[in-house]
Amino acid sequence: MIMNKIIILLSILFISGLFCSCEHPGMEYVIQEKGLNVQESTIYVDGFLAKGTPAFAGDENEPGDRLGIPFVNGFGRKLFVKFIDRSSETGLKIEDGEVQLSFQGDKQYAYFPISGTPTQDGSVPISFDIFENGKKIGTTITKTIPIWAEGTQRPPRELIPTSEKPFVLLGGEINWVNQSTPTTGAQNEQIFWYARMSSPSTEIKISGLTYNCVANLRYNSIMIANNAIRPGFTEDNGVKTLILFTPTPENIEQYPEAFTLKDGTLSHVWGENDIFFHGTNSKPISVGMWDENTPDILYGGNRTRPMSSASWTISASTPKSYIEKPGNYKIYIKYTNTDAGNDIIQYFPKHPVTGETGWVPFEFTITENPVSGFIVNPNLTTDTPDVPTFNEDWEPTESDPVKAIRGELIQKSNQQTKILTKGEVLGGNTAMRIWFATYKPEGATTPTGYNFKAHDDNKNNWFRGFYTPDVVKVAGDKSKIGAGTANKKSNEIVHFFEDSKLNEKYFISYVDFNADAGTLLNKAGTFTFIFESLPNSGTAYPKFEKGFTCPINVIVQE
């Protein structure tokens, strides 16, 4: 008999343990040994609070602003939640209330009306205690809630996340972090994304800070999920391809509505060789509301978006994006879940034809490329007739796969030839551009980049790629010309030949040095100087093992 009682007691304890050992993601406050807890990480404002604007009291169309508190392992408990009055600090008051939990262990939300007018913005604290049968259980819980900046407009109700729809996707856009286009003052403000360019300029710098070009998903959320979503892609021999729905001629003809832009016009037609690609790593989802006016977060000299956006850098890896013709485009990118416990994709738009969930439309503009197709022979008549204006033995081979062809000075702001003035220093905002032809093996989609540096040895009269006595002989006493001193890679910008047949055989690319601001030529005319890079001068691999020389053509006016 005693043994039977012991077995029954152990069975009861075992069953009890099953109901009290649930684990839940996020930070939690365990408020009683039976397992009842508050999931602090998903306490949220069911509504929208902004400094100086009274909390919304509700109307016939939507409830008033209220605080949602999630309880886990309720199992029929009847509780009372009492809020600590912090109205003198925050301007807000939250109404105390009873909570009757249902007989389940899943997360259940209870809501408490918010009144008053916020007196500050940012993250403000709220605190509350929980009572059962008049007795306080657990410790005081403190949580911060977001208050938006004064004047921020309340979004439509359908864009405010709730416990029933905890994630709202606002849309996707391609931008420079939070900018739709580069702003005035950017170092290369005219460069965004040009036709027949291997990718958008991947970054711009403003006041010493870097902006990356990204595909950006904007959202409002009360969910937290690590490694939650990523783009869908296929992979063949290590090369990834995003899963897209694009405006091919056939798709535009069959589904014109799917490819109608916001302005009512149709998307430009997607070419056979067009490629769009962005990063494929998984991104987290955080709690927050999107606000386009929120300042970027500065981290290590880079700007990134704060909460409520997921961004992937465009063409940071192979394959490079490439759009052949200028125009306004609309494409759809497929995204997938990567967190088994959170189905974020159920809240994404559907494919306009199949109805499959997870397809996000993007609209973007490709502009005419200001850099014309490359012509090997510039057909220049120079004042240095003994120096060729281009390397005549320029065609690469399998055994000699990359060769420098020629170079020039380029004004960065408009991508046009920079003309110097006799006797005046060059100054800034000028690139020294060197063109490279690279052998194209069958099936190759991008050229290999070879590393090099300018020959720089003041003790022996070499100044940033040029032998100064030769420069002085041509351009007069005290003349000098120089490239930058950084390591460069021959495939920095992949371009195109004007002769389409050459594009079938070779890659053409260019490298832009920052031309030395002290460059000074004391004679007028059209000159060709020889740039030199020593063997194995690069600081990364692969390198130009044999080094190279390259003619640089310069025009100097009176």
Q: State the DSSP string of 211-247.
A: EEEEEEEEEEES--EEEEEEE-EEEETTEEEE-EE--
Phi, psi of 13 (to 5 degrees): -65, -40
Q: Are 221 and 344 in contact (CB under 8 A)?
A: no
Token pair recorded at residue 340: 């088994």
Q: What angle do CA 94, 95, 99 make, to 5 degrees?
A: 120
Rounded to an integer, the average pLDDT of 168-172 is 93
Q: Is the pLDDT assigned to residue 55 strictly greater than 60? A: yes
Rounded to an integer, the average pLDDT of 171-183 is 62
How many CB atoms within 10 Å of residue 232?
A: 16
Q: What angle do CA 487, 492, 498 make, to 5 degrees?
A: 140
Handedness of CA 378, 382, 384, 386 (dihedral sign): positive
The DSSP letter of residue 391 is -
Angstrom CA distances, 293 to 152, 160, 338, stand at: 9, 18, 30
The DSSP letter of residue 481 is -
Q: State the DSSP string of 243-261.
A: -EE---HHHHHH-GGGGB-
CA distance 226 to 15: 32
> How do the domains of the chain map onto residue ranges?
43-170, 327-366, 402-556
Backbone φ/ψ region at 533: left (φ over 0), alpha (ψ -120 to 50), beta: beta
Q: Are 424 and 387 in contact (CB under 8 A)?
A: no
User: Looking at residue 307, what is its pLDDT?
Assistant: 52
Beta strands in 118-197 (DSSP E): 122-132, 135-147, 167-176
pLDDT in tens, 426-473: 998 899 999 999 999 988 878 999 999 999 999 999 999 999 999 999
Q: Is the pLDDT assigned to residue 202 strictly greater than 70? A: no
Which residues contact residue 213 at a Cβ distance below 8 angstroms, ignoring those fewer than 6 apart?
A: 174, 175, 176, 192, 193, 200, 201, 202, 203, 313, 314
* Type of residue at 406: R
CA distance 322 to 289: 33
Q: Is the pLDDT assigned to residue 294 strictly greater than 70? A: no
- β-bridge partners, 334: 359
Reduce the DSSP state of residue 119 to 3 states and report it.
coil
Token pair recorded at residue 245: 């729905």
Rounded to an integer, the average pLDDT of 37-55 is 89
Q: pLDDT higher for 324 or 478?
A: 478
* Type of residue at 161: P
Q: Are 310 and 223 in contact (CB under 8 A)?
A: no
The pLDDT confidence band at residue 550, using thresholds 50, 70 and 90, is very high
Least confident of 169-173, 207-211, 332-336, 412-416: 207-211
Phi, psi of 450 (to 5 degrees): -105, 135
- β-bridge partners, 531: 550
The C-alpha R_g of the chain, in whole angstroms, comes to 32
**Average pLDDT of the chain to the nearest whole number:** 85
* Type of residue at 466: F
The H or E element that residue 335 is part of is strand 327-337
Reduce the DSSP state of residue 89 to 3 states and report it.
helix
Q: pLDDT higher for 122 or 206?
A: 122
| Burial degree of 393 (CB within 10 A; 0-12, 13-18, 19+) | exposed
The H or E element that residue 6 is part of is helix 2-19
Rounded to an integer, the average pLDDT of 136-154 is 87
Least confident of 179-183, 339-343, 477-481: 179-183
User: Looking at residue 369, what is its pLDDT?
Assistant: 79
Q: Are 73 and 22 in contact (CB under 8 A)?
A: yes
CA distance 497 to 303: 35
Give the distance from CA 368 to its chain's centroid.
23
Angstrom CA distances, 383 to 201, 527, 529, stand at: 36, 6, 11
Rounded to an integer, the average pLDDT of 526-538 is 98
Phi, psi of 249 (to 5 degrees): -55, -40
User: Looking at residue 305, what is its pLDDT?
Assistant: 46
Q: pLDDT higher for 481 or 498?
A: 481
pLDDT in tens, 329-375: 999 999 999 998 889 999 999 999 999 999 999 998 888 877 889 99
* Type of residue at 191: I
CA distance 488 to 72: 57
CA distance 481 to 477: 12
Instruction: Label the pairing between strands 203-206 and 239-242.
Output: unpaired
Least confident of 15-24, 165-174, 340-349, 489-498: 15-24
Least confident of 296-305, 379-388, 521-530: 296-305
43-170 placed in CATH 3.40.50: no
Q: Are 169 and 360 in contact (CB under 8 A)?
A: yes
Angstrom CA distances, 536 to 369, 492, 519, 544, 547, stand at: 33, 18, 26, 5, 6
Backbone φ/ψ region at 289: left (φ over 0), alpha (ψ -120 to 50), beta: beta
The pLDDT confidence band at residue 210, using thresholds 50, 70 and 90, is low
